[in-house]
């Protein structure tokens, strides 16, 4: 049995979110799970990844100016992917208990940034519009160096032109932030870069409209 203390990680995330709305935690997951996720990613054929879109945008050229990553949604029918989704479900329950966030569901995809790929500055949700409330990004890249590029740059909630911090996409690092507060971008990676991005939603269903999972 691993003695990894996930409750302690959840507590740190809750504290960070309460004080700043942003949390960056290294070694946030059991190394055994990280290894397994890496093997899972390595076993996936590249053609199971699809070009990522932006909202309902279907203009591929415009899209490619904004983001160049390829994605594959996580699926509960695979045991490992289900394990990751379960960890995020537990985080959801923890945050709901501690911070009364009212988080309702979670959706998540693997993202592959090939050499040269980037994602320009964006917000994951727009105030009052979307129901994505909390973003998570988890990194899977062993021994990532500064010269490998591909940093996540997070901008200030108060001033979207001012960078707040740069995060190396280092294996085991989990970044969590309020989706409609912090603009962020992925700088061009100099080598293949893998992450798992995900979003907690609140329930936006009404009698006339059942909120789709994505």
Residue numbers at the binding site for ligand OGA (CB under 6 A): 111, 119, 124, 137, 152, 169, 184, 186, 195, 197
Extended strands (E) in 28-115: 50-51, 70-73, 105-113
Least spacing, CB of residue 126 vs ligand OGA, in Å:
13
Say how far apart CA 175 and CA 102 lie, in whole Å.
20
Which residue lies nearer to ligand OGA by CB, 53 or 83?
Answer: 53
Residues sharing a CB contact under 8 Å with residue 58, sequence separation 6 or more, in sequence order: none
The separation between CA 99 and the C-alpha centre of its own chain, rounded to angstroms, equals: 20
Pick one of ligand OGA, Mn ion, none as the site partner of residue 195 (Cβ within 5 to 8 A by kind): ligand OGA
Extended strands (E) in the chain: 22-25, 50-51, 70-73, 105-113, 119-122, 132-139, 152-155, 163-167, 174-178, 184-186, 193-201
Least spacing, CB of residue 42 vs ligand OGA, in Å:
18
Which residue lies nearer to Mn ion by CB, 30 or 119?
Answer: 119
Which residue lies nearer to ligand OGA by CB, 190 or 205?
Answer: 190
- The answer to whether the CB of 189 falls within 8 A of the CB of 118 is yes
Question: Could you say which of 30, 69, 81, 124 contacts Mn ion (CB under 5 A)?
Answer: 124
The reply on whether position 180 binds Mn ion by CB under 5 A is: no
Which residue lies nearer to Mn ion by CB, 36 or 202?
Answer: 202
Interacting stretch for Mn ion, rule CB under 5 A, among 64-72, 106-114, 122-130, 167-175? 122-130
């Amino acid at each position: 049995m691993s003695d990894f203390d996930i409750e302690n990680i959840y507590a740190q995330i809750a504290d960070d979110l309460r004080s700043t709305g942003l949390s960056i935690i290294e070694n946030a997951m059991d190394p055994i799970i990280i290894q397994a996720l890496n093997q899972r990613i390595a076993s996936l054929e590249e053609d199971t990844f699809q070009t990522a879109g932006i909202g309902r945008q279907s203009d591929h050229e415009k899209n490619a100016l904004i983001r160049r990553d390829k994605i594959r949604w996580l699926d509960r029918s695979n045991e490992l992917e289900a394990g990751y989704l379960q960890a995020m479900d537990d985080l959801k329950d923890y945050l709901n208990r501690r911070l009364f966030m009212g988080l309702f569901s979670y959706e998540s995809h693997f993202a592959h940034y090939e050499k040269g790929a980037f994602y320009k500055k964006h917000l994951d949700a727009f105030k009052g519009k979307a129901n994505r409330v909390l973003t998570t990004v988890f990194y899977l890249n062993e021994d990532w160096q500064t010269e490998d590029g591909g940093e996540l740059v997070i901008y200030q909630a108060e001033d979207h032109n001012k960078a707040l911090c740069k995060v190396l996409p280092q294996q085991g690092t989990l970044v969590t932030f309020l989706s409609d507060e912090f603009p962020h971008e992925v700088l061009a990676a100099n080598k293949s870069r893998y992450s798992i991005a995900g979003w907690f939603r609140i329930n936006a269903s009404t009698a006339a409209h059942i909120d789709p999972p994505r």
